[in-house]
Amino acid sequence: MDIVKKIGFVLLGLFIVLNWGLLMAGIMRKIIARVSMRRGIKIFQPYINLIKNYSIRSQLTHGIMFYLGPVFRLSGGVGIFLFMPMIYGSDIWNNFSFTGDLILIAYFMFFGMLGMALGAGEGGHPYSAIGISRGLAQFTAIELPLTLAILSIAIQYQSLSITEIVAAQQGSILNWTLFTNPLATGAAMISFLGAMGHSPFNVVMAPQENPVGPPTEYHGTFLGVLQTNRAILHVVEAVLYMNLFFGGANNWIELIVKTFFIYFWSVFVGMVFPRFRVDQSIPWLLKLPVLIGVAAIIVFIV
């Protein structure tokens, strides 16, 4: 019965995360529209899009791997959630976290991208390989400063357990990694910009360049699966950054507020800076953020 109860609360937490991700997507698009002097969509439009796509069946056939791509992508987002402690000090909302869960979550972050690459490889579009090369190259560049930041805080707290890292930040806002290790926080927050896919790092979708990409190649239920993952992934990645650098959350209200502002950071930067070209974004990510991440490690080694 304890296992059944645990699974029930995990599913409830996933439901809360999905709904918060959909609401946050609508709120952010509304903010972007207002900044651009437009009316924008309704806040609940992501729900309408999701229901519409799940009600449509695709008649195209590109091979089994093409349809497994969205499944792998969703597995990456759900996998991160399953091993992510959501609320500090709560056994109910701790999910299936364990000692060393930070390493597993780092693997899951790349798992979904690899699955999408395999799926796009079987697509019918002649330029799918361009999207694959863009996505994998940039995501590798994004992961490098984040990995350096994770190594820095692992050295700082002598732990790879997210729960223990959050515990070390309790007591005062000055105990947050933001203040105790600003270099690692800076490298990770720059990496976060690329992970969210907003300007200046939205080179995969490239909306100003060509009308292609997963929303064009995938339709119906498969596009609905991708939209479901996008809602979950944005929240759980924001929760990861909240746990590592901003003291975690002691309740759902605190989690919602902190994840909103963490995600808003990427939206704000995206509204200010135009999109990089591929030959600009990857070298940029491999310079300043990597140097900051290396410096963060050196500070705690020395």
pLDDT tens digits, 68-94? 888 888 999 999 999 999 999 888 899
Q: What pLDDT does 149 receive?
A: 95
**Helix, strand, coil share (%) of the chain residues, nearest 5:** 70, 0, 30
Q: pTM for the full model?
A: 0.92
pLDDT per position as a tens digit, 86-137: 999 888 899 999 888 899 998 898 888 888 788 877 776 777 777 778 788 8
What pLDDT is attached to residue 213? 58
Domain-wise residue ranges, the chain: 2-301
pLDDT at site 40? 86
- Pairs from 293-297 (Cβ < 8 Å, separation ≥ 24): 293/144, 293/145, 293/146, 293/147, 293/148, 293/149, 293/151, 293/152, 293/183, 293/184, 293/187, 294/148, 295/183, 296/148, 296/149, 296/152, 296/181, 296/183, 296/184, 296/187, 297/148, 297/151, 297/152, 297/155
pLDDT at residue 163, rounded to an integer: 94
The whole-number mean pLDDT for each consecutive block of 10 residues of the chain, a chain of 302 residues, reads 87 96 93 87 92 84 81 91 94 89 89 81 73 82 93 94 95 94 94 86 66 67 89 95 96 96 91 83 90 94 81
Please state the φ and ψ torsions of residue 124, each to the nearest 5 degrees.
-90, -5
* Among 165, 190, 189, 194, CA closest to 177: 165
Task: Give CB contacts under 8 A, 24+ apart, made by 157-161.
Answer: 159/99, 160/99, 160/100, 160/101, 160/102, 160/103, 161/97, 161/98, 161/99, 161/100, 161/101, 161/102
Query: If you search the block for the tokens 């490690």, which residue do you land on?
Result: 297
Containing 135, the helix (H) or strand (E) segment is helix 128-157
